[in-house]
Chain A
């Protein structure tokens, strides 16, 4: 997939009269980091990159536009945001459109087919303390990693993010323009979740109690989630107060379970929550459990189609009701 093709399309997008700015990726400030880039028309397109290091989702920023209180003419003009979107990103966008979080015509989507991204922790463990800017390309099932004039070849499997291994839709499902080949959809794989479900309840409890004790309630998971966009989050509410501010296993459990449940039938599996967690909590285990349930109980996959009805707001007579007394 050609970076130049992406830059060309980005330049075209920014040349449109109705595009305010473009959200893409650029080199990060050190080592293997990548940063979001907000490029306005007439700004340098050359800073745009796309590589296996682009392991963050940009969809969050679509919902984060802030204007100071008070209407201005600028805020009233309908203007598009151009955004670089991978497969998982496109599912988030579909869901946002379906939930009426963002109108379709507000976005100019530059879809990029994605063969998976690198897990930051894995590459920093393999090459610790790298400050100099690094580059990574993918070739024949390997990653070619270059920094400080050195080049290293590492098998893709060693650095690929775990979630990418079970990615179902490598090609975006919604776009205005597609860069890269259309890659086929892949079957769902919830073996890891099934394996955890098979563990005895005492083990599961011990596992989660340990994890929830580590949580420091920084709220990064919630803030980074493209689908958490309420103006007032129920977990922040003080009247009524659903969650105490104390940080202990009990409150953390409530926080994580409520957050997961607010994503029931919605989570599209981008894995941002788990990526950003400073304490390395396995948050996707919880989210994927509900993804699996949505599939098995209701035959539903979120974010496939912006016109599909959302899972928990629709009722069918065939819906499982065995749990009702």
Chain B
């Protein structure tokens, strides 16, 4: 539901990911992180609701 709400507000839902990974599932952890990183690189940095830079 949070993804859906963020999408409704104009944020790409791909920015919120969830997965169940145990400390002993090393390969799965690496795979999940690689996949997320790749997806984020494709959509680029977040441009909405940014904080004011000092």
Contacts and interface: CB of A to CB of B under 8 A. Distances in A.
Determine whether A and B are in direct contact in the complex, meaning some CB atoms lie less than 8 angstroms apart: yes
A212 B49 contact: yes
Contacts, number: 68
Interface string B1-45: 111111111111000011110000000000010011000000000
Contacts of B11: 205
Given A196-B8, A208-B10, A290-B1, A323 B52 contact: no
B9 A208 contact: yes
A289 B8 contact: yes
A204 B48 contact: no
B9 A257 contact: yes
Contact of B3 (A196, A206, A323): A323
A261 interface: yes
A22 interface: no
B15 to A, nearest CB: 12
A290 B5 contact: yes
B18 A205 contact: no
B9 to A, nearest CB: 5
A260 B19 contact: no
Q: Is the interface of B mostly helix, strand, loop or mixed?
A: loop
A273 to B, nearest CB: 15
Residues of A contacting B: mostly: helix
A208 B6 CA distance: 11
A130 interface: no
B52 A248 contact: yes
A294 B2 CA distance: 11
26 contacts: A196-B8, A201-B12, A204-B8, A205-B9, A205-B10, A205-B48, A206-B10, A208-B10, A248-B51, A250-B50, A250-B52, A253-B9, A253-B49, A257-B6, A260-B5, A264-B1, A264-B5, A265-B1, A286-B5, A289-B8, A290-B4, A293-B1, A323-B3, A323-B18, A324-B20, A325-B35
Given A196-B8, A205-B48, A209-B10, 15 more contacts: A204-B9, A205-B9, A208-B9, A208-B10, A251-B51, A253-B49, A257-B6, A261-B2, A261-B5, A297-B1, A323-B3, A324-B19, A324-B20, A325-B19, A325-B32
Interface of B: 1-12, 17-20, 32, 35-36, 48-52
